[in-house]
Chain A
C-alpha cells in the first residue's frame, strides 16, 4: 500500500501546524518524522490516524482517497506516546478491544479472538501478563501492550507517536532494537514520530526532517547525516560547529582557514559552513591552513572524547571529537595550545540579506585527508 500525501496544510488559530507537506510512503517502509516540538510531525500523524483533519491537500492510498475514509475504516494501528491503555480493562481485554468492537458480521469467533490475543501476548513477550491491569505494568511493558493492541486489528499501517519518549534510557535502547526486528519480521508500513535524532537515525529506513510545519529534507539516515540539505538539518541532526565565511581576496575564508576551490564562481559573497566535531582535525604542528586554539576541556564519553577548543582569532568555541585512545597519543590536555582545521564541511551560500541558498549547498571535503 503506497501512501501519497500531497500539499497537506493545517492551520491552528495562530500558526500553521502543517504548511504544504508532500510525501510518499512506500509499502513496508519504516519512516521517521523527526523534528522539534511544534514542527507539525504529530499533527501529520494525527491526520493520518483520522484524529485530526487537514485544511487542504490530499492523501491517496493506492487509488483511494484515504482522508475520506473514517478512522475506523483506515486499518490503522496507532500507539500513543503515553500508551492510552484502557485502565479499567486487563491486558488481555485491551488487546482484544479492536476485535470485540467489530460488527457481528466481521467479529471473529470467541475462540479465535482468544487465540489471536494469546499469540500477540507471546509476540510482545508478555504471555503471563494477560490478566494484569495496565497500572500493574512497567513503562516498557505498557508500551508493548499498546503495540500488541495496535497490531491486533491487523493494520495496513502502523503509526507510533514518540514511542519511546516516556521510557528510561536503557529500556528505550532495548525496545528500539526489538521494534526494528519486529518490523523486519512483519514488514508492516510504519511511521513514527520522534524528536530524538538518535532514535530516528538508528531505526528508520527514511527520515523526514520537519520544521515549522514544513519538510526540510527527506532521505536515508546516511543522507540526512552526511548531506544535510538545509542549515536547520545541519544543526538539528547531530552536533555541529557553525562558521560564517566571507570572501577575502577572492577566496572564501574564516580566519586562517581559506578554501581554494569555489563551486559558485564568486557568485556569493558569504557562506555558512557547518563542520561536524569528528571532522575537525587536531595537530600540534602548524598546518598550512587552520586556526590556533586553546584546549579548554576534555569530556570523556566512553570510546569518544569531546573536546572544547577556544579559537581566539574567531572568538568562538568549537567542539571536536577524537577517539579516546588518541588523547594520550596526541598528548592532549586542558590548557594546551594546538592547531585545528576542518576536514569536511557543508556550506550554504548566503545572499546579502543573510538568506541561505539551500539548493546551491556544497559538501566540501579536504583534498588530502588521511583516512580515519
Chain B
C-alpha cells in the first residue's frame, strides 16, 4: 500500500522522461537517417523524372551497376560457403586456435576498410610482393575486377559466419547425430537436417552480406583505380559524378543504391517478423 502511494507523485515526471527519450531518439533518427535518405531522392529527381532516367542511362552508370552485381555475385556465394564451413567448425568441434579463428572472422569488422584495400595493393600491386610475378604472367589484380572481388570478399567475410555461429552452437549436434545413426550419409545429414535448421539465419546472413558487398566503398576505392566503365562500382560512380559537379547524376545512382538498401531492409524485417526465433540477430554475438 505504502509503495503504491509513494509511486503516485513520480508518475508524471516518469511519463515526461519517457516522452523526452522517445523525442530524442526519433529526432536523432530523423536528422541523421531519414533526412539524408529523403535528400538522396529529392536531389535525384530535382530536374524531373526524365532527367533522372536519362542520367542513369547515360555514361557508365550501367556498367557500374553491372560491375556491382558481378562483384556481389562472386563475393556473396564465396562467403556463403566460407561462412557455413567456419560456423560448422566453430560450433561442432573443439580445436586449438578456435578462439583465434573467431577473432579472425571478426577482423574485417575491426579494421578500417581503407587499410584492407591497401593491404591488397601492397600484396598484388605493381610494387607489391607478388606484383612483378603476376605482371610477368599477365595477371592483373589491382585496378581490375579480381581486386574488387578480393577486397569485397574480405570486407563481407564475417556476415554469414557471425549469423550462423551462435545459432548452430545453441542448436547443438544431437539432430545431426540422430541422422547419422538413422543411416544418413554426410550429404544427406547436411542437406536434410543441418540446412533446414539454419536456413533463415543463413538467408539473413546472405542478405546482410549482399547489402555490404554492393555498398562497400573504402576498400574497393583503394584497389579500383577508378577506371570509368571498367573498375567503377556504384558507390565509386556516385563519388566520381559528385566530384565532377554532376549532382543529379550522383544522386540518381545513389538513389539506386538506397533502393537496394531499402529492399534489403524490407526483406530482413519480413524475415525477422516471420522467423524471429530462428534468427540469431538478437543474440549477443549477432548484429
Q: Pick the residue among B175, B181, B196, B197 that contacts A71 (CB under 8 A).
A: B181
Q: Across the interface, which residues of A come within 8 angstroms of B188, CB to CB?
A: 101
- Give complex CA distance A87, B171 in Å: 10
**How many angstroms from the CA of A121 to the CA of B179 in the assembled complex?**
19
In the complex the two chains form, is B197's CB within 8 Å of A88's CB?
yes
Q: Is A98 an interface residue (CB 8 A)?
A: yes
Q: Is the interface of B mostly helix, strand, loop or mixed?
A: helix
Interface size on A, residues (CB 8 A): 23
The residues in B between 107 and 125 inclusive whose CB is less than 8 angstroms from any CB of A are: none
Contact at A72–B175, with CB atoms within 8 Å? no
Q: Is the Cβ of A101 less than 8 Å from the Cβ of B192?
A: yes
Q: Which residues in A have their C-beta under 8 angstroms from that of B197? A: 87-88
Cα distance, A71 to B181, chains bound together (Å): 6
Residues of B within 8 A of A149 (CB): 178, 182
- Cα distance, A315 to B175, chains bound together (Å): 53
Query: Complex Cα distance A42/B178, Å?
Result: 15
B182:A98 contact, CB within 8 angstroms: yes
Beta-carbon contacts under 8 Å, A173-225 to B: none
Complex Cα gap A292–B250 (Å): 100
A45 CB to nearest B CB, Å: 11
A50, A78, A88, A102: the one within 8 Å of B178 (CB)? A78
Select which of A50, A86, A89, A153 is within 8 A of B180 by beta carbon. Answer: A50
Across-interface contacts of A51 in B (CB, < 8 A): 177, 180-181
Chain A residues with Cβ under 8 A from B193's Cβ? 86
* A310 vs B128: C-alpha distance when bound (angstroms): 86
- Distance, CA A78 to CA B184, complexed state (A): 14
- B179 close to A101 (CB less than 8 A): yes
Q: Once the chains bind, are B181 and A97 in contact (CB under 8 Å)?
A: no
Q: Tell me if A343 counts as interface (CB < 8 A to partner B).
A: no
Residues of B within 8 A of A150 (CB): 182
Q: Count B-side interface residues using an 8 Å CB cutoff.
A: 16
| Interface status of A309 (Cβ within 8 A of chain B) | no
Partner of B177, one of A72, A84, A98: A84
Which residues of chain A are near B175, meaning CB under 8 Å?
84-87
A87 to B178, CA, bound (A): 12
**0 or 1 for each of A19-57: is its CB under 8 Å from B? (1 = yes):** 000000000000000000000000000000111000000
Which of A71, A82, A86, A153 is most buried by chain B, counting CB atoms within 10 A of its CB? A86
Partner of B181 from A49, A82, A86, A87 at Cβ < 8 Å: A49
Contact residues, A66-107 vs B (CB, 8 A): 71-72, 76-78, 80, 82, 84-89, 97-98, 101-102
**A286–B171 Cα gap in the complex (Å)?**
64
Contact B174 A78 (CB under 8 A): no
B6 at the interface (CB under 8 A from A): no
Do the beta carbons of A82 and B183 come within 8 Å of each other? no
In the complex, chain B residues whose CB is within 8 Å of the CB of A72: 180-181, 183-185
Residues of B within 8 A of A153 (CB): 182-183
**Separation of A78 and B196 alpha carbons in the complex (Å):** 22
Q: Which of A87, A88, A101 contacts B182 (CB 8 A)?
A: A101
Shortest Cβ distance from B29 into chain A, in angstroms? 37
18 A-B pairs besides A85-B175, A86-B192, A101-B188 with CB distance below 8 A are: A49-B181, A50-B180, A51-B181, A71-B181, A72-B184, A76-B181, A80-B177, A82-B174, A84-B178, A86-B175, A86-B193, A87-B175, A97-B184, A98-B182, A101-B182, A101-B183, A149-B178, A153-B182
Ordered by A's residue number, 29 sampled pairs between the chains whose C-beta atoms are within 8 Å are A49-B181, A51-B177, A72-B180, A72-B181, A72-B184, A80-B174, A80-B177, A80-B178, A84-B174, A84-B177, A84-B178, A85-B175, A86-B178, A86-B179, A86-B196, A88-B196, A97-B182, A97-B192, A98-B182, A98-B183, A101-B179, A101-B182, A101-B183, A101-B185, A102-B183, A149-B178, A149-B182, A150-B182, A153-B182
The 7 tightest CB contacts between A and B, nearest first, are A84-B174, A98-B182, A88-B196, A84-B178, A101-B184, A72-B183, A78-B181
A interface, CB within 8 angstroms of B: 49-51, 71-72, 76-78, 80, 82, 84-89, 97-98, 101-102, 149-150, 153
